Structure 1
Amino acid sequence: MRWLRFGSAKRPVEHDPARQQALLAEVRQNFGAQNQASFADQAEAVAKLLAEDLPVAVVVLREFADSAYAQMYHQAANLRLATDRTNYRPLWQSAGTHLQWPLFALPCALHPYVHVSAAASVLGGGEARQVVRVTDPEQLLAHLFEILDLTIAGWEFGRVRVDVDAATLAMRLITTARDLRAAMGNPPPLPNPVRELMRRNNSITVLDPSGTRPVGAINPGKEMRENLLA
């Protein structure tokens, strides 16, 4: 998957709540669907900012996951269905087209292909060992897997186009989860949606950002097996 570009932060983590709130507000307000730049270019710019303060990247993932859960819970409640944020697949399988995939328009004003992709990119790699020391790694992993579950559910059930930005997000979530699990040494068991997808071997065509031309393919089950079972 040659189009993927991964970042790696090398700066020390400092606890400055006021500065962290200002940074979060900056990336929320200045980047996203309202920005004219491509999602890939925006994600790269956001990653450079988040690399200066890794806990803000953790907050981005937490806020995004919480906001997505709230939206899914509301939809499910209207359909009188249960919502399990550790496994959204049964909900999608039960509700089908009655559900709307919410990740492009969450109230938290964070975009999956910009803010979430950037946050995931800076928390993995060489920073994973530091990240697991300064945050709750199990909660962070849960958020990564929750977003990954919703991302792929969108492809499978929500008719979300799998383009380069979508594939990049999925791969960054997978590889960052891999890096954090390795840094933890004794990570929790993999969640059920991951285990279910690992049993599959389906390749999905990946389109260019305009959605007009195939540029490659992604096999989520294979990627998860190779990265998360090592």
Structure 2
Amino acid sequence: MRWFRSGPARRQVQHDPGRRQELLLDVRQRFGAHAQGRFAEQADAIIALLQDDDGLAVAAAVLREFADSAHAEVAAEVADLHRRSWRGPAADRRNYRPLWQAAGAHLRWPLFGLPGGLHPYVQVTAAAAAIGMRAGRAVRVTAPEPVLVHLFEILDLTLTGWEFARVHVDTDAAALAERLIAAARDLRAAMGDPPPLPPPVREWMRRNVTIDVHDSVAQRIVGAFNPGKTMRESLLA
């Protein structure tokens, strides 16, 4: 029998599709804005559920669904603007920033309230963390290139919301951005020969903007976050 490999040391992976569906349903329904507990505590509970191979596959599915749903929401709004004779750029998943620079005042930031019930500060933060924590295994269990693309897409929309949609940057928002960057770093390292960094990441790396981070409960400033510096230190190492 011949064995074929694709990607970095890819191995035969056994999986249970039924368990993956049950796990995804549990993660979707038991956690989120409707559930009790702070977002950070809920994310930690989900991370504990996503430690095995099926959990990593579910984490990848969460990132894919969230990125796809966010794009669908933005694209629908942009299509509506075009029907009303707006002549700005399209919703380009490779780089959302030019669109938001041109039309931010007319767009609704899509990451809260997407169809499917996934919350950026709960399920998405947890999914990114799970992928990053077990990146060496994730490249064997999943197709890592799409996962990396989705991590960067969600990061782009997150930072775009901060810059152009007046999204409140609290500790939960900062944790999401940090988890996405860290997961992208670890996944790229595990891939060995990752694709080039996307345009919005390169643009942020050229900047040196420090953003105040507020406590998610007390609404006071508790720290600062510099996305460009964090990306340079994480993704250019």
Same fold (TM over 0.5): yes
CA distance in 2, matches of 1:51, 1:76: 38
User: Which whole-Å CA distance do the structure 2 matches of 1:216 and 1:154 have between them?
Assistant: 19
Q: Report what 1:70 is aligned to.
A: 72
The 1-side partners of 2:92 and 2:218 are apart by: 32
Match of 1:84 in 2: 92
> Is contact 2:56–2:141 with CA below 8 Å preserved after alignment?
no
What is the RMSD of the two structures over their aligned residues, measured on CA atoms? 1.1
Flag the 1:147–1:68 CA change in 2: closer, same or farther, 3 A.
Answer: same
| d(CA) in 2 for partners of 1:66, 1:50 | 21
1:103 paired with 2:129, answer: no
Contact 1:97 1:158 (8 Å CA) reproduced: yes
Answering whether residue 21 of structure 2 is matched by residue 21 of structure 1, we say: yes
Higher-Rg member (1/2): 2
The residue that corresponds to 2:207 in the other structure is 200
1:118 to 121, 126, 133: 126
Instruction: Give the SS at the match of 1:104.
Output: coil
Alignment partner for residue 187 of structure 2, among 167, 175, 180? 180
Identity %: 64
Report the Cα distance in structure 2 between the residues aligned to 1:14 and 1:103, rounded to whole angstroms: 33
**Using the alignment, how far apart are the partners of 1:51 and 1:84 within structure 2?**
33
SS at match of 1:79: helix
Structure 1 position 45 matched with structure 2 position 84: no
Q: Give the residue type in structure 2 aligned to 1:39.
A: F
Deviations 1:82-103 (A, max 9, x none): 1111100011011121001010
**Aligned counterpart for 2:151 among listed residues 144, 149, 169:** 144
User: Letter of the aligned partner of 1:46 in structure 2?
Assistant: I
Structure 1 alignment gaps of length 5 or more? 1-12
Q: TM-score, normalized by length of structure 2?
A: 0.89
TM-score (norm 1): 0.92
Residue 58 of structure 1 corresponds to which residue in structure 2?
60
Query: Is 142-151 or 82-91 further displaced after alignment?
Result: 82-91
| Structure 1 residue 226 displacement after superposition | 0.3
**Matched length:** 217
Give distance in 2, aligned partners of 1:14 and 1:207: 43
Q: Please identify, of 156-165 and 43-52, the stretch whose mean Cα deviation from structure 2 is larger.
A: 43-52
Residue-by-residue CA offset, 1:122-167 (whole Å, 9 max, x unaligned): 1113x11111122111111000000000000010011100000000
- The 3-state SS of whatever aligns with 1:206 is strand
Question: Which segment drifts farther, 43-52 or 65-74?
Answer: 43-52
Counterpart AA for 1:98: H
1:168 and 2:186 are equivalent in the alignment: no
Give the unaligned 5+ runs of structure 2: 1-12, 83-88
- Distance in 2 between the 1:136 and 1:62 partners? 11
